[in-house]
Amino acid sequence: MSLAHVIQQHINALPPYQQAEVLDFVLFLEQKQQGMTVLNNHTPLRKPHPIAAQIKVDGDIFDSIPADDWDLPT
């Protein structure tokens, strides 16, 4: 079984919003390989793929983690 086939099986098992994240990451890697650079701190390296940009996450995932579980310096 090829690596591409194994990756595809794992992607197929993910929910659509995570598939969009994988797509966004792959596009990032492609652009990184092409040697794109950031001109300054206000210029993004790339825009998200239109499919990835359609995914909306409600709320903040970190709100569900109790403050005591954050391993923050005191």
Alpha-carbon distance of 22 to 8, in angstroms, equals 11
pLDDT of residue 50: 78
Q: Do the beta carbons of residue 14 and residue 45 sit within 8 Å? A: no
pLDDT of residue 4: 86
pLDDT of residue 1: 80
Q: Which parts of the chain have pLDDT scores under 70? A: 35-46, 57-62, 64-65, 67, 69, 72-74
Q: Which ranges in the chain belong to alpha helices (H)?
A: 3-13, 16-33, 50-53
For residue 21, give every residue at least 6 positions away whose Cβ sits within 8 Å of its Cβ, in sequence order, or none.
52, 55
pLDDT of residue 43: 59
pLDDT of residue 28: 86
CA-nearest of 30, 29, 7, 31 to 19 is: 7
Model's pTM, two decimal places?
0.46
